[in-house]
Amino acid sequence: MEKNTSPITPKSFLRTFTLIHLVLVASVLIFGLMMFLQTKNQELIFTYSGDVMFFVVPFMAIAGIVAGNYLYGNIIKGLASKNTLMEKLNGFQSASVVKYALLEGPALLGIVAFMNEGNQYFLIISLLLLGWLIMQRPTRDRVERDLMLQGPLKSEFQQEDKPLE
């Protein structure tokens, strides 16, 4: 039986990974919108009223951003020793997915807290995380910059339709 898959090119890598990012963004956005429309008795309260989630949600949001950036940076640093563009791109994808997950998790937690309490404070935190997640979108420039592609690897990455080895 013969494999009928097309080879991975820089263009197809970016297209596929951008689609993955879009799905993660859309899942948070759609879930948040659905919960906003279904939650009754909504109000915006910035004062502590005995709900532990008032502190847990912002703590998890900050922890997610910090941990995501830290792990992303460590994984990216480890890719300096990789020799092929394909290895570097796979590592970039793994690092980015970890970062995205550490943003998506607290955003979903905030939406659930909003759904349970009706306090839009939690939804605002989730929207801020969603905005940060959107800003992390994988682009050609981000890949080149973060992987510090130079010389032949940068040249190979810029040849959009050439299959990666």
pLDDT band at 3 (very low <50, low <70, confident <90, very high): low
Contacts of 71 (CB under 8 A, 6+ apart): 95, 98, 99, 102
Segment 142-160 shows an average pLDDT of 89
Q: What is the pLDDT of residues 77-110, one digit of tens each?
A: 999 888 889 999 999 999 999 999 999 999 999 9
Q: Is the pLDDT of residue 122 over 70?
A: yes
Read off the amino acid at residue 12.
Answer: S
pTM of this structure: 0.90
Segment 149-159 shows an average pLDDT of 88
pLDDT more than 90, % of the chain = 73
C-beta contacts of 125-129 below 8 A and 24+ residues apart: 125/57, 125/58, 125/61, 126/28, 126/32, 127/32, 128/61, 129/28, 129/61, 129/64, 129/65, 129/103, 129/104
Res 83: pLDDT: 86
Res 82: pLDDT: 87
Q: Is the pLDDT of residue 7 over 90?
A: no
